[in-house]
Amino acid sequence: MRALVYRGHKRVEIENVPDAQVPAPDGALVRTTNFAICGSDLHGYHGPVNEERIGNTMGHEAIGEVVEVGPEVRRIRPGDHVAVSAVVGCGRCEECQSLITARCANSETRVLNLGQAEAIAVPAADSSLLQIPDGVTDEQAVLLTDILPTGYKGVRGADIQPGGTVAVVGAGPVGQMALETSFLFGPSKVFAIDQVPYRLEEAERLGAIPIDASQVDPVEAVLDQTGGKGCQHVIEAAGPQATVRIAFGVLAHGGTLSQVGATTDPEMTINLMALFSKDLTYRVGLVSPQYAWPELVPLLQEGKIHPERIFTHHLPMSDGPRGYEMFDNREDGVIKVMLDPTR
Ligand code: NAD
Ligand code: ZN
């Protein structure tokens, strides 16, 4: 089967790899019909070469059709049209049973890095797969595998109260999901902080106040527009040291910062002494998509959110390497790239 494979710094190639198979008695084989490229795929792509990962399949945001299930699978059947959770657990421990797969007690690698291929070997199928319900489109289902639950986790973690002030740092795909769902909680103001003008324009269309960090000091700009107080609810949706600093900088005293951006720099520092007097709450962690599905599916079915607006590019899988390049360089107004494995 064909897959997009990691070959080193800024090198993803389309290659033939061994066919995927049902990985265990509780697993399933899914033939993909669509998958997307995530900001998390870019960490490996533009970072230093990781020798251990050379030859690995990229990606973790796929939907498809179940081809075969193992003998222990109960809920999922061949022929089901499914979304594959980006984060998978053993499906049996207390945490997985509570749908918080990111805290699985029994697995080490929790992000399913197999998604950008013609077929996927899905572990713990009953816990990892969502049967795509009526009223949810394929584009929306791809977003349910990872970034819609991630943006929503950021929002939930920030405890937005009606009338509260919100800032979302990073207006990439994950930031867009956080911006859109933050409005469900009745905030008075939502700031979007980024440095890519067209992403800020997209945020503005949602009703957010754009702050261009390449033009102004974003912390000063937010303080100016909040009477010097900052925001009570801040969502960090990018990950680097610079955006984590901005997120703490715009946070009001007594506020809550919820970080979903993935920090990959082991040297990153947070000045706890400076933060002590802020009396703040800080949450950070990996998403458990399953946990958010029961809340997000009805919002999609009732038309209360339209996250599929972020798909700016649809490409055949054979153009996957070009899709990576474009997404990484933020060319051509790209926000999210969808790939079609049948082409
Ligand atoms: P992305 O890289 O497209 O988005 C990041 C955005 O932040 C970009 O628009 C960029 O312009 C902006 N940005 C970067 N540095 C900035 C700076 N100094 N000032 C202002 N803006 C800046 O990627 P994405 O797909 O939106 O993903 C965002 C992050 O979320 C990534 O780190 C990804 O790994 C992470 N992620 C986490 C989870 C989780 O489970 N917590 C799940 C999915 C993705
Ligand atoms: Zn992802």
DSSP state string for 2-27: EEEEEEETTEEEEEE-PPP---STT-
Going from the Cα of 235 to the center of ligand 2, the distance in angstroms, rounded, reads 17
Among the bound ligands, name the one nearest to the CA of residue 196: 1
Of 343, 303, 308, the C-alpha closest to 323 is 343
Could you tell me the two tokens for 139? 């584009």
Alpha-carbon distance of 160 to 275, in angstroms, equals: 20
**Residue 191 in contact with residue 167, Cβ under 8 Å?**
yes
Alpha-carbon distance of 139 to 141, in angstroms, equals: 5
Going from the Cα of 229 to the center of ligand 2, the distance in angstroms, rounded, reads 33
pLDDT at 109: 66
User: Which residue has 């809920």 as its token pair?
Assistant: 75
**Residue 31 in contact with residue 3, Cβ under 8 Å?**
no
Among the bound ligands, name the one nearest to the CA of residue 35: 2
Going from the Cα of 306 to the center of ligand 1, the distance in angstroms, rounded, reads 20
Mutate which of 194, 235, 291 for ligand 1? The one with the most ligand atoms within 8 Å of its CB, which is 194
pLDDT at 78: 98
Work out which ligand 1 atom sits closest to the CA atom of 150: 42
Of 280, 236, 242, 241, the C-alpha closest to 260 is 236
Work out which ligand 1 atom sits closest to the CA atom of 286: 40
pLDDT by residue for the chain (343 residues), tens only, comes to: 999 999 999 999 999 999 999 999 999 999 999 999 999 999 989 888 888 899 999 999 999 999 999 999 999 999 999 999 999 999 999 999 999 999 999 986 688 888 999 999 999 999 999 999 999 999 999 999 999 999 999 999 999 999 999 999 999 999 999 999 999 999 999 999 999 999 999 999 999 999 999 999 999 999 999 999 999 999 999 999 999 999 999 999 999 999 999 998 889 999 888 889 999 999 999 999 999 999 999 999 999 999 999 999 999 999 999 999 999 999 999 999 999 999 9
Among the bound ligands, name the one nearest to the CA of residue 242: 1
Alpha-carbon distance of 117 to 261, in angstroms, equals: 25
Burial 19-58 (b: 16+ CB within 10 A, else e): ebebbeebbbbbbbbbbbbbbbbeebbeeeeeeebeeebb
Cβ-in-10-Å burial (0-12, 13-18, 19+) of 343 comes to exposed
Measured CA to CA in angstroms, residue 78 lies from 62, 93, 125 at distances of 17, 25, 11
pLDDT at 335: 98
pLDDT at 113: 83
Alpha-carbon distance of 326 to 333, in angstroms, equals: 9
pLDDT at 64: 98
Protein residues with CB under 6 Å of any ligand 1 atom: 38-40, 42-43, 146-147, 150, 170-175, 193-196, 199, 213, 237-240, 242-243, 260-262, 286-287
Q: Give start and end residues of each alpha helix (H) in the chain.
A: 39-46, 94-97, 125-128, 138-144, 147-157, 173-182, 197-206, 218-224, 241-249, 272-276, 289-301, 320-329
Mutate which of 35, 37, 40, 212 for ligand 1? The one with the most ligand atoms within 8 Å of its CB, which is 40
Work out which ligand 1 atom sits closest to the CA atom of 40: 34
pLDDT at 190: 98
pLDDT at 48: 86
**DSSP letter at 146?**
T
Alpha-carbon distance of 6 to 36, in angstroms, equals: 15
**Residue 60 in contact with residue 38, Cβ under 8 Å?**
yes
| Protein residues near ligand 2, an ion, with CB under 5 A | 38, 40, 146
